[in-house]
Amino acid sequence: MPERIHIAIVDTLPMPADETLRNVACSTGLFGPDTVGLTLGYAILIAKGHATRRLLTHEFRHVHQYEQAGSIESFLPAYLAEIATFGYVNAPLEIDARDHELL
């Protein structure tokens, strides 16, 4: 449902407040100096200056993945488990999102 998507352009993406989650996010490549987009359900955060078609279509695919999972509560554990197991670049849900990027 595209009408449910909300995009916010932000100065910086928020890091997880929980120290353990923050450490895992940084060590797996989920968060780092090159991170410019973040999707949580229908909310998409984009770092200022990075709202390209390619990034938006990548993040829109994550919205689709959330919808397929049924909820944030269902999607996030599976997504984070993939990141922890395969690393950000090789996580199947990230590969799927990259496969749906439009230039």
Q: Are 3 and 58 in contact (CB under 8 A)?
A: no
Total count of domains within the chain = 1
pTM: 0.91
What pLDDT does residue 22 have? 82
pLDDT for residue 1 is more than 80: no
CA dist., res. 62 & res. 45, Å (int):
12
**How far is C-alpha 80 from the chain's CA centre?**
10
- pLDDT-above-70 percentage for the chain: 99
Domain span at residue 28 reads: 2-99
- Give strand ranges (E) for the chain: 6-10, 37-40, 43-47
To the nearest whole number, what is the mean pLDDT of the chain?
Answer: 93
What does the pLDDT average to over 73-94? Answer: 93
Over residues 29-50, the pLDDT tens digits come to 888 888 999 999 999 999 999 9
